[in-house]
Structure 1
Amino acid sequence: MQIHILASGSTGNATFIEMGGHKILIDAGISTRRIEQGLAAVGVKAGELDALLITHEHTDHIRGLDVLVRRYQMPVYARPAAWEKIPCRDKLPDKCCRELGSVLEIGSMEIEAFATSHDAADPVGFSIRQGRLKCVLATDLGEITPAVEKALAYADTVILEANHDPLMLQEGPYPMYLKKRISGIRGHLSNQQAGEVLARIPRSGVMQVFLAHLSQQNNHPRLALQTVSQVLENRGYKLGEEVLLHRTYPNTTASMRG
């Protein structure tokens, strides 16, 4: 298994996952050129992708969708309600546009789409299994619902939102309506909330965790890492042994091979 988070944050999101020789990209929220360059840096060609999966229709998740799909003619999966909101849908080849159901199989990969609480048409996260391996991507979460918590259970690798620090958000420059949106149940997960859900989900062994979708205005990678670490340590977790935390960045690839 290898995971390369090409970009993560409010300016764009794209995650490459390979399991069992099958290659997928989750979201295309950066330019096709950046996706191509990011993949090339880890030894992968964009034309080798088996599929592109879309979590939801917000711009920071679909910015590169149009060019990428038309250039490489790859299948792209999104919820029907998301397709209705994706502006470039009419430009894409019909053969490439697939409706995303509850379960999708790509080779030996079994991908489950689960509902998330966010202000989009029908947003989802993804739980990906291949053999005994399980990887879960859960970002753009206003709250941790039972469906999200169930998906996270026993994951080997988790890509989890740690979007903001509540105090930074409260004292920051955003207008009040935006602050309420971010902190609301259809907004984004705070560092503290991320730590709390990681502390209570069951594990089957060492869990690798990428702290993702960090706000550039209302968070900092060091602060996210510090807060989540403190929550886990307070609950008795041994960092570096039971849980390994990794940072993600808007312009630098964060990687794991296993």
Structure 2
Amino acid sequence: MRVISLGSGSSGNALLIEAGPNGRTRLLVDAGLPCRTLINRLHLADVSPAQILAVLLTHEHNDHTLALPTLLKRYDPLVISDPATLATLVDDSRQESHATTCGKRLTALLPLRRTLALPAGSSCLLGDIEIVSFPVPHDAAAPCGYLLSAGGCRVCVVVDSGSVTPIMLEAMRQADLLVLEANHDRDRLLHGPYTYALKMRILSPTGHLSNEQAAQAILQTWRTDGLRWIWLAHLSQVNNTPQLALRSVQRHLVEAGAALQQVHLATLPRTMGPAWDSTRLWHDEHWWRYETLIER
């Protein structure tokens, strides 16, 4: 498997997943970037948008679905998600109700022609990749995390969640690469510029995970049977920094007696991030320096 972060954070989220001979099975987990940016970053990964077999949605919020209308119009990939998420994307009344409830803007109504309803807790095989869906607590219609398996390797994605459940921990425990939200530093959030209502939404059990919550989840799923890679995702630009997230998680791990040499820990940038290749188990840092080319 090859995994590349195309962008992470409230400005847009997308992961490219490849598996099989010559990466013949390609999918996106979320497509929340501006479509031109997303396509440019796919090209930098030597992937044509037309090669994307499917878009796997964690939930319907705009920072996870922004590019979908244009992708669907131009390339018509399969869209996979929980039935309630798919329904929300095409239903005016559901969108208005959701916006009133949590104040989150959703992507405009989508012309969903090819869909696969994957209820939380179910699984399917898409080309070379087995997809297992599991529910996560977030203020969306039916938010999901995913455990993706191919060639004996597993990648677990949990990018928006206000708390951690036993079901989530079981999926995370199996991952060779764990992509896990570490959205905010709690003190920085509480003393920051956000309104009280927004702070309470973020801190709620259906909001977003803090650095400390991410560290506790990592500890609860700690493995001693080999190296493991962990990407801290969806960092707030206002209430967190990459350095703060890394220091906080590392401190909790060390205090609990965890051996840091057993993990490769990194934060995902809002720009194009690292690549993970299960055939070599290394981070290809050269993706980071392409960003100056992308924005021109």
Under a length normalisation based on structure 2, what TM-score does the superposition of the two structures give? 0.83
Give distance in 2, aligned partners of 1:27 and 1:38.
14
Q: How many residues align?
A: 256
Name structure 1 gaps, 5 residues minimum: none
- 1:86 maps to a residue whose letter is L
What is the aligned-residue identity percentage?
37
Give distance in 2, aligned partners of 1:195 and 1:249.
19
Partner of 2:171 in structure 1? 151
The alignment's C-alpha RMSD in Å is 1.5
Question: Residues 37-186 of structure 1: matches in 2 within 5 Å?
Answer: 37-87=40-90, 91-94=110-113, 96-101=114-119, 102-186=122-206
* Residues 159, 211 of structure 1: 8 Å contact kept: yes
Give distance in 2, aligned partners of 1:12 and 1:254.
16
* Residues 169, 220 of structure 2: 8 Å contact kept: no
* Residues 68, 110 of structure 2: 8 Å contact kept: no
Give distance in 2, aligned partners of 1:90 and 1:119.
19
* Residues 156, 205 of structure 1: 8 Å contact kept: no
* Residues 237, 243 of structure 1: 8 Å contact kept: no
Which of 251, 265, 281 is the equivalent residue of 1:245? 265
Name structure 2 gaps, 5 residues minimum: 91-106, 279-296
Partner of 1:206 in structure 2? 227
Secondary structure, aligned partner of 2:175: coil
Partner of 2:7 in structure 1? 7
Segment of structure 1 superposing worse, 84-93 or 184-193 = 84-93
1:1-31 deviations in Å (ceiling 9; x for gaps) = 2111111101111111112232110001011
Give distance in 1, aligned partners of 2:30 and 2:66.
9
Partner of 2:35 in structure 1? 32
- 1:156 maps to a residue whose letter is D
Secondary structure, aligned partner of 2:3: strand
Alpha carbons of 1:32 and 1:200: their partners in 2 closer, same or farther (altered >3 Å)? same
* Residues 179, 230 of structure 2: 8 Å contact kept: yes
